[in-house]
């Protein structure tokens, strides 16, 4: 054996590329490979079921779930058949200390998986109430909507230790799972969590919100926080927790921050030391006024910024004035010189007069063109403004942002960008891999592409209906994007249009070209 294979770091890198069955075989070949192979094999698990199954065979049994929905009919339940003895723990501890990640449940389908019965947790925690089952656990991912996870919640405290660093929870309060109980259990044992991702399917109860406040205030080493509610409204973090997060010197990323009315002043760097290390920030505001207050207060050199403004019922003129105030909050902002990722989503109604439309778009364009050449991701979905983008703007944008990888211009009233207008992107943005600008598919002379490279990264394109001469458009598309596989209609167009047949023809031509190439 070569001496380099006796170095654990090298063998670990090799073993990480192998599947589980190969790792199990290698672990038994020689002593030098046993520990590094087992470390990789056991590093990530979906449950503690495998740990129970390495305990003595007469201790446990497997039964099928009888009264269950069709989706879970083949789920296997692991149960104990006798009481625990001290000798039963040796293999459990031997393998348990190798587990660093617990992602529960299986991300795909639960069919055919093993589930530990809650009585097993009762027996384990009662026999050794002080011991930590997984002392080296670093990452925990839980889906509280999974039937058996809810029954395991009271016992998670026994599995966790002070080494936990990443926590991800997907919760639905309507299932009756006590999120507050889980957060309380975790906060008792784990005080150095660095990353928190919490997704709620519905707004949490007052107990859940209070528990979230206590949990956040108990953590002193948070680097990343993402707390969001999918429906019906954003999940607002209590003001006490916001103040705590603002004082953390290590907080680098805060995603999905819901800004409630009256809490905008909490999002401010005007007082010394607040948000000192924050570089990635995304927030949801109820109005453009609220978003303007946040941007006026958060004077940071951000790397990524995402702003979402909710639907508004105020008169169009009021919304227009608020949007103008929002744009003014960016004037002289330090983030414009540092952003590589900028996303803006919101509803906006421009008054009918041409001068107002022109001045509003020019104000937005001034802000966008203040972004530096390091910009990699630009996503704009502002209803009422997106129709102002055209080929001239796109040509200027391509020159200004050569590192662009993602460009998205979405919203009601698609951009006035043509297929020919995409040529500057081929010339100046070689790294572009995601393009969503809904171009008008009009053919152009192929000589315009002479001396200009093609883009092999883009494989699909979102387009408008109104395709002129599908065959000629097809030729232009494959010259520009040789690896294009399909086109998709913009969400804002209906298949009821008379010219929908041209889209189907173009889609068929692309499918046939792919088939021929294969």
Task: Please give the Cα distance from 263 to 49 (Å, whole number).
Answer: 45
Q: Quick one: pLDDT at residue 347? A: 78
Q: Quick one: pLDDT at residue 65? A: 66
Q: Quick one: pLDDT at residue 420? A: 95
Residue matched to tokens 């910009």: 375
Q: Quick one: pLDDT at residue 498? A: 57
Rg of the chain in Å (alpha carbons): 28
Asked if 60 and 52 touch (Cβ cutoff 8 Å), the reply is yes
Q: Quick one: pLDDT at residue 108? A: 45
Q: Quick one: pLDDT at residue 229? A: 77
Q: Which of 216, 205, 144 is nearest to 180 (CA)?
A: 205
Q: Quick one: pLDDT at residue 109? A: 45
Strands annotated E in 358-478: 377-383, 406-410, 434-436, 460-463
DSSP for residue 394 = H
**Residue 414: Cβ-neighbour burial (10 angstroms; 0-12, 13-18, 19+):** buried
Measured in whole angstroms, how far is the alpha carbon of residue 98 from the centre of its chain? 28
Task: Please give the Cα distance from 158 to 378 (Å, whole number).
Answer: 45
Give residue-wise pLDDT tens across range 91-116.
999 999 999 998 865 444 444 467 88
Cα atoms in the 13 Å half-sphere on the side-chain side of 199: 9
The Cα angle at residue 186 between residues 184 and 192, in degrees rounded to 5: 125
pLDDT digit string (tens) for the chain, length 518 residues: 667 776 777 888 888 888 888 888 888 888 888 888 899 999 998 888 899 999 999 999 988 766 555 445 567 889 999 999 999 999 999 999 999 998 865 444 444 467 888 889 889 888 876 678 899 999 999 888 776 777 777 787 788 888 999 999 888 766 555 788 888 888 888 889 999 999 887 666 778 888 889 999 999 999 999 988 766 556 678 889 999 999 999 999 999 998 888 889 899 997 778 999 999 999 999 889 999 999 999 999 999 999 999 765 555 556 778 888 999 999 999 999 999 999 999 877 666 666 777 788 889 999 999 999 999 999 998 877 777 899 999 999 999 999 999 999 987 766 789 999 999 999 999 999 999 998 888 899 999 999 898 999 999 998 876 788 889 999 999 999 999 988 888 765 544 455 678 888 888 888 888 888 76
Give residue-wise pLDDT tens across range 208-256.
888 889 999 999 999 999 988 766 556 678 889 999 999 999 999 999 9
Strands annotated E in 41-161: 44-45, 60-64, 76-80, 101-104, 114-116, 139-143
Task: Please give the Cα distance from 235 to 197 (Å, whole number).
Answer: 13
**Residue 168: Cβ-neighbour burial (10 angstroms; 0-12, 13-18, 19+):** middle
How many C-beta neighbours within 10 Å does residue 416 have? 18
Task: Please give the Cα distance from 339 to 346 (Å, whole number).
Answer: 20
- Report pTM: 0.87
Task: Please give the Cα distance from 227 to 200 (Å, whole number).
Answer: 8
What is the signed CA dihedral for 388, 428, 346, 232, rounded to 10 degrees? 140
Q: Quick one: pLDDT at residue 236? A: 75
CA distances from 69 to 74, 110, 275, 281, 282 (A): 10, 12, 47, 41, 39
Q: Quick one: pLDDT at residue 273? A: 80
């Amino acid at each position: 054996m070569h001496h380099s294979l006796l170095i654990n770091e090298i063998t670990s890198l090799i073993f990480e590329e192998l599947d589980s069955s190969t790792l199990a075989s290698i672990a038994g070949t020689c002593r030098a490979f046993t520990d590094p192979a087992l470390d990789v094999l056991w590093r990530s698990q979906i449950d503690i079921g495998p740990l129970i199954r390495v305990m003595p065979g007469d201790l446990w049994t497997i039964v099928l779930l009888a009264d269950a929905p069709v989706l879970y009919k083949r789920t296997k339940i692991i149960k104990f058949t006798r009481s625990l003895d001290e000798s039963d723990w040796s293999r459990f501890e031997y393998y348990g200390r190798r587990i660093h990640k617990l992602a529960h449940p299986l991300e795909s389908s639960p069919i055919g998986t093993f589930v530990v019965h809650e009585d097993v947790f009762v027996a384990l925690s009662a026999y050794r109430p002080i011991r930590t089952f997984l002392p080296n656990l670093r990452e925990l991912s839980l889906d509280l909507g999974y039937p058996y996870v809810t029954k395991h919640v009271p016992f998670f405290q026994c599995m966790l230790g002070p080494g936990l660093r990443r926590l991800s929870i997907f919760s639905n309060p309507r299932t009756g799972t006590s999120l507050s109980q889980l957060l309380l259990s975790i906060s008792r044992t784990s005080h150095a969590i660095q990353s928190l991702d919490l997704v709620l399917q519905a707004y949490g109860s007052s107990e859940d919100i209070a528990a979230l406040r206590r949990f956040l205030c108990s953590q002193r080493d948070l680097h990343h926080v993402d707390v969001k509610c999918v429906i019906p409204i954003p999940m607002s973090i209590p003001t006490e927790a916001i103040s705590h997060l603002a004082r953390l010197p290590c907080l680098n990323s805060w995603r999905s921050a819901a800004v409630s009315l009256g809490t905008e002043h909490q999002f401010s760097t005007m007082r010394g030391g607040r948000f000192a290390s924050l570089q990635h920030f995304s927030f949801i505001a109820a109005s453009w006024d609220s978003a303007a207050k946040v941007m006026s207060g958060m004077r940071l050199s951000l790397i990524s910024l995402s702003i979402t403004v909710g639907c508004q019922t105020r008169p169009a003129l009021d919304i227009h004035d608020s949007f103008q105030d929002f744009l003014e909050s960016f004037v002289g902002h330090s983030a414009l010189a540092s952003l590589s990722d900028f996303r803006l989503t919101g509803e906006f109604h421009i008054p009918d007069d041409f001068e107002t439309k022109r001045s509003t778009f020019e104000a937005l364009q001034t802000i966008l063109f203040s972004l530096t050449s390091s910009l990699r991701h630009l996503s704009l979905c502002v209803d009422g403004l997106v129709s102002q983008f055209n080929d001239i703007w796109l040509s200027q944008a391509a020159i200004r942002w050569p590192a662009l990888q993602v460009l998205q211009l979405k919203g009601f009233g698609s951009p006035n960008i043509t297929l020919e207008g995409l040529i500057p992107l081929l010339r100046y943005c070689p790294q572009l891999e995601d393009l969503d600008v809904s171009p008008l598919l009009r053919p152009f002379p192929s000589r315009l592409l002479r001396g200009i490279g093609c883009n092999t990264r883009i494989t699909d394109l979102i387009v408008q209906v109104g395709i002129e001469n599908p065959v000629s458009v097809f030729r232009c598309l494959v010259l520009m994007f040789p690896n294009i596989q399909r086109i998709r209609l913009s969400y804002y167009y209906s298949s009821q249009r008379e010219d929908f047949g041209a889209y189907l023809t173009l889609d068929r031509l692309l499918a046939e070209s792919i088939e021929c190439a294969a």
